Chains A and B, each alone.
Chain A
Amino acid sequence: MTWGNRELPPTGPVVAAPPFAPPGGTAEMALVVDHLSKHFDDRVAFDDVSFEVGYGEVFGFLGPNGAGKTTTVRTLGTLLSPTSGSATVAGIPLSAENGQAIRKLISIMPESPGLYKRLTVTENLACFAGLYGLTDSKNRIHDALRSVNLTARASDLCGSLSKGLRQRVALARSLLNDPKILFLDEPTSGLDPVATRDVHELISSLRERGVTIFLTTHRLEEAERLCHRVAILNTTIQLVGRPDELRQQLFTRSLQVRLRTGLSDPGQVFSGLSGVEAWAQQTSNSYLLTVSDPDVAAPVVIRALVDSGADVLSIAESYHSLEEVYFELVEEDVEAKRR
């Protein structure tokens, strides 16, 4: 039994949706990446990567370990120079000469918080306020700490904070310069569920404030919950789009039917029904029907089942999580590389 009939694109990346358009939006893009590649000698970190991110968008960058997510962030953050291709970051062409100008407008929160443990939370933030050349640093530090609910811990040494709180300090540090684009590299990596939830809530509140966020993660539920669009990367971009679009694109739509007892001749009931393209038996009393439009097919299927004397317990459209989309793509890619 397979879950739906997979229809993978033959080759190359698929852009399922245009970049996010903010309400009352602008055609200007926060990030425009065009055939960007980064190689370390003969090792390919990422290759031929293209995508666009709109202002106010939360863009998820998904991929397994070693897929090139962090290297992409570092390249767009001017820490590494690309091997080929081009990009525009916050309206500025990506180049070594423009590095300082770009770094003024963006913020990167690396996977490890990278705080000075012998300094207090405020001292850490004061150092970075100075590095960004902020004039009203006291107010900015106060605002940043309030954004992450850490005002009460401002005088604590960072070394005395839990991992989750350190991550919050790092997030506050990233907000100091009011960045046009905020890069979050695996912000919940290594955090326990409570700390993870806290970080998710903070990102959600930033999303509501219209902050442009480029979020790398391998937590699929995180991307699904927080991102307007996602890109799936495995050295090359596999797919870009809204999570629901990716599901529709990769999986055919289907209805899951559960009965009190199994049908004696399911073929007779399901074959030829309008809108039902295929069917398969999942367990003794449940069936999966491939349909063109669930809203049209569901009433027809229910009528046919009732006419055949079946007791219908439930009928629902099958839901494919982003996780399934991810595994379809990444495993297919691994298989292709093996071949």
Chain B
Amino acid sequence: MSFNWRRTSAIFRKELMDYRRNRFVILTMLFFPVIFVTLPTIQILLINASTSNAKLTAHIGLSLLYMLMIPAMVPSVLAAYTVVGEHEQGTLEPILTTPISREEFLVGKALAVLVPTLGIAYVVFGVFLGISAIFAKPGVASAIFSGPHLLVQLLFTPLLAGWSIWAGIAISARSLDVRAAQQLGVLASLPPLGIVALMSFNVIVPTLGLALGLAAGLLFVDVLGWRAVAAIFDRERLITGKQI
């Protein structure tokens, strides 16, 4: 049977309604962004006009890395809850008895994590840029507003979120305990940040070609992640709660 967006959208809407009334989710969605906007903002505002170029690059790189931790870490916690959380509250079986396919279920779950994550990440980045433009030293602000930095942020935010989401859902589909799934999910979200960190610190100079190449690579990994998660999503194992 073909992919049915109505079913995917039912999961998506249900998840958003549930998030809205889930204190844990709201705190998770607020906690990381507040931390990751406060620290870099303070750091940027404390940079002197006389700071050397190398030091300035390091400071900005670190600040922007904080920004990218939002799309990496926020979805990992939520995604790790998606399947095992349903299992724990006894709602997984009723869902799996409906005609929804595993692909529709997984895409619905992933979108429900991705959309708020992107919203938060871009809003936080916007706030950071705004504060930097108004309050940072002119030299610092112009360095932050450089093309490569903006490109890295805009391009890698959804791609990092995609990685974290599929890694989190994969862990969630194989876990029997929510907390263990979330801890593993956070760990699994970190590796791609390594490359981004190298770019943020200008260790790898983020040319347009390189950024696009890495982004394409990450996009390929994200798609592969979706297929891999769909393959390991086993109704029978999920229903019986059998360990791997």
Residues of A near any B CB (own CB < 8 A): 40, 74, 77, 79-81, 100-101, 103-104, 106-108, 110, 112-119, 123, 126-133, 170, 173
Shortest Cβ distance from residue B84 to the other chain A in the assembled complex, whole angstroms:
15
Name the residue on B nearest A112 (C-beta): B90
Among A114, A127, A132, point to the contact of B90 (Cβ < 8 A). Answer: A114
Residue contact B91 to A104, C-beta cutoff 8 Å: no
A131 and B95 contact, Cβ closer than 8 Å, known pairs A100-B1, A117-B89, A123-B17: yes
- A127/B10 contact (C-beta < 8 A), A110-B94, A115-B91, A133-B99 known: yes
B227 contacts the other chain (Cβ, under 8 Å)? no
- Are A118 and B18 neighbours in the complex by a CB distance under 8 Å? yes
Which residues on B sit within 8 Å (CB–CB) of A129?
A: 10
CB contacts (< 8 Å) of A106 on chain B: these are 97
Interface residues of B (CB under 8 A from A): 1, 4, 6-7, 9-11, 13-14, 17-18, 21-22, 89-101, 235-236, 239-240, 242
Residues A40 and B240 in contact, CB atoms below 8 Å apart? yes
Select which of B90, B96, B100, B242 is within 8 A of A79 by beta carbon: B96
B80 to chain A, nearest CB (A): 19
10 residue pairs, one from A and one from B, having the closest CB atoms: A130-B10, A131-B98, A118-B21, A127-B14, A108-B97, A114-B94, A114-B90, A112-B90, A104-B99, A114-B91
Residues of A near B99 (CB, < 8 A) are 100-101, 103-104, 131-133
Given contacts A112-B90, A116-B18, A116-B91, contact A74 B98 (CB under 8 A): no
**Please, which residues of chain B bring their CB within 8 A of the CB of A127?**
10-11, 13-14
User: Of A103, A112, A117, which contacts B98 at CB under 8 A?
Assistant: A103
Is the CB–CB distance between A131 and B239 below 8 Å?
no
A80, B99: Cα distance in complex, Å: 14
- Whether B101 lies near A77 (C-beta < 8 A) is no
Query: In whole angstroms, how far apart are the Cα atoms of A173 and B95 in the complex?
Result: 11
Q: How far is the CA of A108 from the CA of B91 in the complex (A)?
A: 13
Return A196 CB to nearest CB of chain B, in Å.
20
20 A–B contacts, CB within 8 A, in A order: A79-B236, A101-B1, A101-B99, A103-B99, A107-B97, A108-B93, A108-B97, A112-B93, A115-B91, A116-B91, A117-B89, A118-B18, A118-B21, A119-B21, A123-B17, A126-B13, A127-B11, A130-B11, A131-B10, A133-B7
Distance in angstroms between the alpha carbons of A107 and B242 in the assembled complex: 24
